[in-house]
Structure 1
Amino acid sequence: MYAGLLLVLLPLALGYCVPCRSQSILKLLNVVVARMIYLILFLMGISLAFVDNLVSHLTTIFTVSLVFLVCIAIANLAGLWLIDIRRGRLNPHPGAQAISKWALLLDSVWLCLVILAGVALGHLLDPEWFDVDALSEWALMLLLLLIGIQLRNSGMGLRQILLNPWGLIIALVVLVSSWVGGVAGALILNMPLSQGLALSSGYGWYSLSGILISDQLGPVLGSAAFINDLARELVAIILIPTLMRRHPSCAVGYGAATAMDFTLPVLQRSGGVAIVPVAIVSGFVLSLAAPIFMLFFLSLG
């Protein structure tokens, strides 16, 4: 029952054990990880094409993703708002500047186009000889190995994490409130609670949630998980500049796992250098938690 959990956590743990001091190698690693994400999403698109009567499932995909997006957003922002009541506003800083969101949104559009390209190719392939599930699993394990190396060499040690209580509290609130939203979404859609909890444990890590959910629950729910987490990232990009001054915890926390990578530039430009350690700690903790809790809840089904 826990074989899937082991297959995901083992490469992540092995990668975390690999120290790397070469900046050139780390830069190359970042490029490879970015390309691997496109490969995994492309394979997910092929897997989706192999679903019988795909068009009839599109309503299910978008309904599930929309319900979970709304439920999780409400739960997250409500919990994070309580943190901001205690902490108050973020002081304005001279370095704050507007950031164009169009380039970041365009990156997300490319991700969707990659999946559509996979769907188009999948219609030309024979599922009997093209084992997309096996390829996806190997690609995911390689990606997690590389991400483990990235996390180990991100400059965030255990001492730094434990000494940043704000980031840890944000991560904990996002963790628990996401499950509340997942349970609400499962009840609305009449789904098993374990599936709702698994879908809510991606924390914006769309490439991971999409492929893990696809592997365990099928490409229809896997696509819904991908759209849910990708949409979360898009909404975060839009909300961060608006929320940062009065509700900094909401700005950092809603980005979830992406706060340490994709949405970090938006957070830094909106909140200044002081917000960066908070965002990295929060994103780091949620990145480690995502595969553990997703596979744990999937194993309960």
Structure 2
Amino acid sequence: MYSGVFMIFLPLIIGYFISLSNESWLHRISKVVSYLIYVILFLMGLSLSALDNLSANLQTIILYTSTFFITIGLCNLAVLPFIDKYFSVQANAKGTSLPIHKMALESAKLILVVGAGLLLGLLLSFEVSWVNQGSEAILLLLLFFIGIQLRNSGLTLKQIILNKRGMLIALVIILTSWCGGILSAYILDIPVTNALAMSSGFGWYSLAGILMGDAYGPIYGGASFMLELLRELVALVAIPMLIRRYPCTSIGYAGATAMDFTLPVIQSTGGVKCVPIAIVSGFILSLLVPVLMLFFVSLGH
């Protein structure tokens, strides 16, 4: 782990203070972030291949993933419908339906990247001691570019503060996810700080898996990655079915992805009134994923 938690936050903070108006540069940064995510996930697969008793560890990953998915999902869905009841917004589905299966395939690519690293590590059986150092260096660069992306996402502080529903949804997701994480900690008999860190991914599967893997090893990294990816895939299927009756619940369950990956589904099936709410809640959650995860990681070290 790093010498101090400040060194982890520093690239994110520096990136957030960089304002760019050149769309070409922002597009390049987006491309670089995608490439870096693929590289780190491939290295995660290599780390998994080096685990002793791999089959037992894969069972542990599946156990952690399923437990956190159920507890966090139940806690989220226990409270989100109250926002629809007391702070309702009228969803109005217009426009053509989206090829949701194609979006799901984009997520599947990331699983294949992890699988490719795992398979290569098993076939070649080479030394992977350099993987942790390489992952840490790439992670610092990735956090720097993510900070730039968050700063230049187009939302001002005023726009966030004025959208009460978006802020309320984000707050509910944070608190109920932590409740689910604490339940998982007791069920799995793991440290509460580890569980709180893992439950702070809010659907951002790539970054969540990377941060957890760097902090606690490939088992936590793999479980966190699968947990958030499963959440997104379920959201892609559930949003079109639920958003007309439960728009805030649908947006909330999408978590951080409501700002980007699931936003086209929300817009297409829920209408334009849902878009500002989704962007604000997704932005707040995206901004807090690295902050909260690293905070809980620092408490556990």
Find runs of 4+ consecutive structure 1 residues off by over 4 angstroms. Answer: 1-4
User: Mind listing any 5+ residue stretches in structure 2 that lack a counterpart?
Assistant: none
CA contact (8 A) 1:259 1:283 kept: yes
* C-alpha separation in 2, matches of 1:231 and 1:90: 28
Deviation at 1:30, TM superposition (A): 1.6
Q: Cα deviation per residue 1:235-274 (whole Å; 9 max; x = unaligned)? A: 1111111111111111111111111111111111111222
CA distance in 2: counterparts of 1:91 and 1:212, whole angstroms: 35
In the alignment, which residue of structure 2 is the partner of 1:226? Answer: 225
Q: In the alignment, what sits opposite 2:194?
A: 195
Which residue pairs with 2:85 in the alignment? 85
The residue number in structure 2 matching 1:115 is 114
Matched pairs, number? 299
Deviation string for 1:126-175 (max 9, x for gaps)?
336x5101111111111111111111111101111111111000000000
Q: CA deviation at 1:181?
A: 0.6
2:256 aligned partner: 257
Does residue 216 of the first structure (1) align with residue 198 of the second (2)?
Answer: no
Query: What pairs up with 1:1-301 in 2 under 5 angstroms?
Result: 3=3, 5-88=5-88, 90-93=90-93, 95-123=94-122, 124-127=124-127, 130-301=129-300
Say whether the 8 Å CA contact 2:76–2:176 is kept in structure 1: yes
What is the CA deviation profile of residues 5-64 of structure 1, one whole-angstrom value per residue up to 9, with x for unaligned ones?
323321111111111111111122222222221111111111111111212211111011
- Work out whether residues 88 and 246 of structure 1, in 8 Å CA contact, stay in contact via their aligned partners in 2: no
Kept in 2, the 8 Å contact 1:8–1:291? The answer is no
Q: Give the 3 Å change call, closer, same or farther, for CA 39–169 of structure 1 in structure 2.
A: same
Could you tell me which amino acid in structure 1 is paired with residue 87 of structure 2?
A: R
Identity %: 49
Residue 273 of structure 2 aligns to a residue in which SS? Answer: helix
Contact 1:5 1:292 (C-alpha < 8 Å) held by counterparts: no
Q: State the AA in 2 paired with 1:73.
A: G
Cα deviations by residue, 1:194-250 (Å, 9 ceiling, x for unpaired):
111111011111122212211222111211111001101111111111111111111
Q: Supply the distance in 1 between the matched residues of 2:286 and 2:73 (Cα, whole angstroms).
A: 18
1:184 alignment partner AA? L
| 3-state secondary structure, aligned to 2:19 | coil
Contact kept, 8 Å, 1:89 with 1:246, in 2: the verdict is no
1:98 CA displacement: 2.1
On the 8 A contact 2:256/2:283 being kept in 1, the answer is yes
**In 2, Cα distance between the equivalents of 1:52 and 1:264?**
40
What amino acid maps onto 1:272 in structure 2? G
8 Å contact 2:89–2:273 — kept in the other structure? Answer: no
Distance 1:117 1:2, change over 3 A: closer
Contact 1:213–1:225, Cα closer than 8 Å, also in 2: yes
Q: Structure 1 unaligned segments of length 5 or more: list them.
A: none
* Distance (Å, rounded) in 2 between the aligned partners of 1:126 and 1:222: 21
Could you tell me how far 1:281 is from its partner in structure 2?
Answer: 0.9
Deviation at 1:121, TM superposition (A): 2.1
TM-score (norm 2): 0.94
Classify 1:3/1:262 alpha carbon distance in 2 versus 1 (closer, same or farther; 3 Å): farther
Q: What RMSD in Å do the two structures reach over aligned CA positions?
A: 1.6
2:279, 2:103 → 1: CA distance?
Answer: 19
